[in-house]
Structure formats: structure tokens, C-alpha cells
Amino acid sequence: MKLNILFIVLRLILGGMMLYGGIQKFRKPIPSPIEVVEKAEKFKAPEKESTLQKILYISGAKQTGYFWQVLGICELLFGLLVLLQGTSFIGAVLLLPITLHIFLFHAFLEADEFGELLQTSGLFAINVLLILKERNKWKHLLWIKPI
């Protein structure tokens, strides 16, 4: 019983964070390419290289005209699937590459931000735990027994 409550709390955390992240993708207008260049110019100094990398990476995703929005929609949809009891497994499976990407972004581009690294590694770990909880549903896909 206590384990079920723990997994409900984990689903609420992961789903809630994904809903929040998805909503945030649509809160600010996408900057123009000129605005991105002007912002990047401020961080050309070698000691600000990590900040420049983050600005260029996020701005590049926004400048595609579709990727940032698709990511936001996926975070909203898959986060909602995780929150709903009947679809939480498929939501967790679909969220796995997104939470991995978020974790790797912070591990490689914000390694000095320990709090954010801890938070994103926690989200990824929660995602993995939610998938492993349902291993009986998918473990047969990994090894097909010969007849």
C-alpha cells in the first residue's frame, strides 16, 4: 500500500514538472534571429563560454520554428498521460527520451549548477522507476523465447 502511494507521488512530481515545463515553452515570445545574435554578442568572452553555449543551444531550438513548440506539446501531452492512472506507463515510456535529454543538457552545459543537476537527475530517475515498476508489461519484448 505504501509503495503504491510512493509511485502515485512520483507520478505527480514527474507529470507536474512536465506540465509546468510544457507551459513555460509557450509563455515568452520566440526572439528574432537578430535578438539572439545581440544577446550572444554579450557573452563572447572566454570565461562566459558556457553561458554562450546554453544561449545558442536554446535559441537554436527556438529558431527552427517548430522544435521548441513540439517539445512543449510533448511535455504537456506526455506529462498528462503520466498523471492519468490508466496511461501512466505509456506516458513514462514516451517521456524517457525527453527526461534523458533534459538531464544531459544540465550535465554537459550546466554541470556547475548542482541544484538543477540534482533536480533533473531526480526527474530522470523517477521516469526510469515508473517504467521499471511495469517491467512485467514489457520485459517479454526484450527477449523472445525460441519455440
pLDDT confidence of residue 112: 87
Sheet strands (E) in 1-147: none
Q: How far apart are CA 145 and CA 43, in angstroms?
A: 56
List of the chain residues with pLDDT < 50 = none
Task: Give residue 114's identity as a one-letter amino acid code.
Answer: F
pLDDT confidence of residue 146: 67
Q: How far apart are CA 11 and CA 60, in angstroms?
A: 31
pLDDT confidence of residue 44: 85
Q: Which of 12, 14, 22 is nearest to 123 (CA)?
A: 14
Q: Which of 76, 71, 131, 78 is nearest to 101 (CA)?
A: 71
Backbone angles phi, psi at 145, to 5 degrees: -75, 135
pLDDT confidence of residue 51: 86
Place of cell 530522470: 124
